[in-house]
Each structure stands twice: as structure tokens, then as C-alpha cells.
Chain A
Amino acid sequence: MLRRTLSRVSWVDVFLRIFQLVAAVVILIGLYKTFTTARYSSEQWATLAFAGLAQGSIYALIALGYTLVYGILLMINFAHGEIYMTGAFSTVFLAMYFNRIGFLQSSPVLAIIVLILFSAAVSTSIAVLLERIAYRPLRNAPRLIPLITAIGASFALQYTFRGLFGSQFRAYPDIAVLKGTWNILGFDVPLVQPVVFLAAVLLMVALYWFVERTKTGKAMRAVSEDKAVARLMGIDIDRIIVSTFALGGALAGAAGVFNGLFRPQGVFFLMGFFPGIKAFTAAVLGGIGNIPGAMMGGLLLGLIEALGPNLILEGLGIPAANQLKDAIAFLVLVLILIFRPQGIFGERLAEKKA
């Protein structure tokens, strides 16, 4: 029996197992030290957590775009982060205009809705255009080819928008109403965070309803199950794929406005890269192709990223842990892909060993 078990284990597995163990031990030591030294008050933790949730809901919205496209085409739309950027970057000018004419302050809710619609429209158009020009002709090509195209598209979009709108940061104008704080569970939270969080959740619920209930949504699910059969059932595959890109684009566009609302440093042409990778991480975390998984993955990643540096790294005695925030997200991605590539909630599409 022992021999049989041994023969199943290769040295690669042993190495990975050790790696896993070391990672777990390091995390536990970090947690232990942080809690025993009581570095931060619960107030501070709560502040970090709420900011993390708001940021996470933005990741989740972008992650949905990855997951939807992956579910249908089994392809990673590497340029999705840029689609998010196009919406956010274009809309900042409209927001500035609204601010100038006073619309933004006089009726903020309506103004923000218009901004979201505009941003979603821009991102959607770019996503659809991208699909039409760069991806559709390559639908039957070997897997690496559309991926390389997507990398190319990502750079083309970044520098096109740099050419259009310039290379400096543009900040979304402050909205007076959102400046206040809100008392949640006894903690004072900047109002903008719960607003972004709730709005994002609302959008996600709407998406879930769309995919589960509407005809197009059902067709999408059919196409992701089996393209050939879906075609036989009279579903126009091209149209469904375009709708998928459009839907993902719209959510990313909305995410762009939310990001603008609660991050003061503003938007610029390279802003899509990190959120893009992180949203991809979120999608993988929740199990790529899995819609609720992407939502949960996004929120979870937001939390990990917000709390991780203080919770684990500082406990380990690493100075200026916030510098490593981005590395944490990448580390989560690497770890999850190595140890549980199907994600926490499982891939919806069980793919055979490929």
C-alpha cells in the first residue's frame, strides 16, 4: 500500500507540497505576530476592510468581464483592463463638464447615472470593436495566437488613449454629497465606499438576473456549454459572443466610474493594467467561467489586498508593507493557479486536461 502511494507521488508534487506548507506557515506566523502585538485598533481594521470591500466590488465588476468571455470563448481577454480604462478615462471629461455646469452637484444621483451610462457605452463600443477586429478572425486559431493579439490590443488601446487624452492624471471632481461619512456598525465610514459597494452589488444582481432569466442570457449559457449544439438550436453564435463582450464592457465601464468616484488620484492611460490583472486574479480566485464566483473572488481579493499588508507582512516585520500591495495580489494569483486552478468555487466549465 505504501509503495503504491509512493509511486503516485512525483518529486514535483513533493516540491509543491513543501511550497504550500511554507506559504501557510509564513502566513500563520504573520497573523499571529500581528494579533499578539495589537498594532492596530479595530477602528483601523474596519476602515481598511470597508475600503477593501469597495475596491473589491470594482475588481468584481471587471472580473465578470473576464469570466463571461472565458466562459464562452475559453480565452483570456488580456485587453479587458484597457476596456475598463477607456470608459473611466473618457468619462472623466464629461464629469468635469457636469461639474462646471453645476449638474453634478445639483442632482448627483442623476449625474452619476448618466456618467455610468456614458462610460459603459464607451467601454462597450471598444469591447465590441475589439472583438470584431482582433478576435473574431482568430476564433479557430491555436490558443496562443488570440492571446498575443490581446496583448497587442492592450498596448494599442493604452497608447491610443494617451494620444487622444494626453499622459497626465485627470481627477474626477469631488461630489459634495459623497464627502460625508456614514455610521455602519459603530464605525464611521466614508459614504462613497458603501455607495460604490451597493451600486456594484446592484449591477451584479442585475447581471445575474440577465444571464439566468433573459433569452439572450440563456443563449449565452447554452453557447458556453456547447457551441455546436447551440448553433443547431438556432442560436446566432456571433451575436451571442458580441453580446458577451458588450456586457463585460458595460460592467467594466461602470467600474471605471466607481473607481473615479472613490479614488482621488484620478485616471490615466495606464490605469487599466493593474486592475486588469487583479480582476483576472479575482476571476480565477472564484473559478473562471463562474459568475457568482467572480463576484465573490473580487470582494475577497479586495479584502486580502487591503488587509494583507498590515495583517501579515507587518507581522513578519517587513517595513513599508503597503509597497508590496500589488505583489500580494500577484502572489494570490500565482498561489491559486498553482494549488487550486479551478478556483475556490470551482470552474463552471470542467475542462479536461489540456
Chain B
Amino acid sequence: MANILTARNVTKTFGGLVAVNDFTLDIAENSISSVIGPNGAGKTTFFNCVTGFYKVDEGEIIFNSEQIQNRRTDVVTRKGISRTYQNIRLFSNMSAIENILVGQHPRLKTFWAEAVWKSKRFRNEELTALEEARRLLRFVGLQGMGDTLARNLPYGAQRRLEIARALASLPKLLLLDEPTAGMNPNETGEMTRFIQHLRDELGITILLIEHDMRVVMGISEQVTVLDYGSKIAEGSPKEIQSNPRVIEAYLGRGAASGLKAGKR
């Protein structure tokens, strides 16, 4: 299988702090991969580099055999990468369905002023977009909640809405930043199945940051471990679980519960 995303020797520093250090990563198309590591290991920073929110200092990021490092965020999204956030960032004063409609933005092509005289093209596009948004809403199990303001949705629903919004741009690669943070075991199980379902159903490549090791080990085909911004291990969940350096990285910090230790 071809690689959909390749990061080569990516380095990102903030002042004197090296947040991501000479990091190299290959993500195979249609796979589910995870990036794990202790807090502050540079996982989210790496996501921010991929999505163009941060400019990388060195190295290159190749998506679909095209360099995307240091491109503007909106350009990267248009190329087919979308993401969710560690601490949910919905458009909280917009309704759920509007959130999804915003997510569809890269696919809408009509000229903005056509809305004024409602050209046929505009009407058709809006109708299709709305239809698609309703479909996505059903897909994430939020049918009937579309007109609720995003901030009024329950926590789990917000997480799923954020994923629906990310899916709306029809991404080829989906970056999930701690999709199960703050969830109870039931919800976590549901989310895990949902992520798997996403890949199987929609054929989207998924890269996630996750602290819950059951999720990581359960669904990932490839796990990458970051510590202090550098990659310390990579491989299948099995290999990672027995890798001494990984255990040291976690246990060495006094996280007595070992690999199960999450952020919570």
C-alpha cells in the first residue's frame, strides 16, 4: 500500500524548546495509526505542523506525493486533511447542522454573490449540502439534534459532531486528537467502534493521538511513540507493548500504573 502521509525529519522549536525533533513518520493509505507519548511529548504540535497551523523549522511533510509543509491551514484542508481538537472546538453559537455545513466549505464552489439572486447553481448546491449535512448527522447518530446550538449538546454528542464536521470536507486523512478524552468506558468503547467503522465504511485513513491504551492497542495497525519531541519507538501494538524504551518513558516518570496510565 502507498503512503498517504510522510513526514520526513520534521523539527519544530519554540524559542529554545524543541517540541518536535527530527521526526519521521509514514502513514499507509487506509490505515489506522496512533501517536502516543507522555504529556508534552509534542503530539499535538505535530498535528499542528501537519495542518499548517505551525510552520515547521526543518523537514518536509508530504501528503499524496505533494509537499504541504508551511502551506496555509485552509489550503491544507482543501487538499484533504481534516482534524478534531483535544479540547473540543466547535462553533458553539451555531447549530449542529450549521457546524457541519461550515465543514463542507471546501467542497462548495459557487461564487459568494450568487446567493443574492439565488442562482440555480447556488440553490442546487445548498440543497445538496444540506442533504449531505443531514446524512452526516445521521451517520454520527445525532439525527434530530441538528437545530440545537452546538454548545447545548451533551459532551459525547459534541465529540461526534466535531468528527462529523471534520468528515464534511470529505478528507482523505482524518487527524483525531484524543477522541475519547473525558469519556467513560462505555462511551469509549462506542467511539472505538465508530472510528473503526469510519475507516471501513468511508475508506478514510485515520491518525489519532490517544492516551487510552485500550483504544490505541485495540484499533491501531501502527503505533508511534513520541517522547520529548523525538520518536522512540514504532511498530505494531504488540511490539510497542514489549518495547523497553517505551516502558521506560512511561514508567520512568513514576507513572506507576504503567502502560495503562492515561492523562486522566
Contacts and interface: CB of A to CB of B under 8 A. Distances in A.
Q: Indicate if A touches B (C-beta under 8 A).
A: yes
A8 B72 contact: no
A7 interface: yes
B8 interface: no
Contacts of B70: 4, 7-8
Contacts of A8: 55, 70
A8 B72 CA distance: 9
Interface of B: 55, 70-72
A183 interface: no
A5 B116 CA distance: 40
A10 interface: yes
A4 B72 CA distance: 13
Determine which residue in A4, A7, A8, A10 has the highest number of CB atoms from chain B within 10 A of its CB, and name it: A7
Nearest to B72: A10
Nearest to A142: B93
5 contacts: A4-B70, A7-B70, A7-B71, A8-B55, A10-B72
Contacts of A10: 72
Nearest to B53: A353
Interface in A1-50: 4, 7-8, 10
Nearest to A350: B15
Nearest to A352: B14
Contacts of A7: 70-71
A10 B55 CA distance: 13
Nearest to A7: B70
A7 B71 CA distance: 7
B86 to A, nearest CB: 15
Contacts of B55: 8
A102 B70 CA distance: 72
Interface string A239-276: 00000000000000000000000000000000000000
Nearest to B60: A4
Nearest to B15: A350
B79 to A, nearest CB: 14
A250 B70 CA distance: 49
A8 B67 CA distance: 13
Contacts of A4: 70
A307 B55 CA distance: 42
B55 to A, nearest CB: 7
Contacts of B72: 10
B44 to A, nearest CB: 13
B175 to A, nearest CB: 20
A8 B55 CA distance: 9
Interface string A175-213: 000000000000000000000000000000000000000
Nearest to A3: B67
